[in-house]
Amino acid sequence: MSIPISYYLALSAILFGLGVVAFVFKRNIITIFMAIELMLNAVNLAFVAFARAHNQLDGLVFVFFVIVVAAAEAAVGLAIVLALAHSRQSLNVDRVDLLKF
């Protein structure tokens, strides 16, 4: 028997929700970044599932782009983290509160 697409979509939703939870909870900046990557992956899964459902390849192209952009974002984000770590001597996101009122 074949797996209905909705199962994939449900899995995507679960992963996304877990990503949100991780984002809210974790204190280490790098871990928060990883939660973002998790969310992006969940979205990729949804795209691929839809591409299969509509029998079109546009979804896959989109996944391609998402991966590329995620990579670029990870690079820049980690560079920022490096700079932050140098200046703050800590990777705790709660210490980065200079924009406090």
Residue 79 touches another protein, criterion: CB under 8 A: yes
Residue 88 touches another protein, criterion: CB under 8 A: no
Distance of closest approach, residue 53 Cβ to another protein, in angstroms = 4
Helix pair 58-88, 29-54: axis angle to 10 deg:
180
- Estimate the share of the chain in helix, then strand, then coil, as percent rounded to the nearest 5: 80, 0, 20
Non-local CB neighbours of 3 within 8 Å, separated by 6+ positions: none
Nearest alpha carbon to residue 28 among 84, 73, 74, 66: 84
Distance of closest approach, residue 47 Cβ to another protein, in angstroms = 9
Size of the site for another protein (CB under 8 A): 81
Distance of closest approach, residue 97 Cβ to another protein, in angstroms = 3
Binding to another protein in span 21-50, by CB under 8 A? 21-28, 30-35, 37-38, 41, 44-46, 48-50
Residue 70 touches another protein, criterion: CB under 8 A: yes
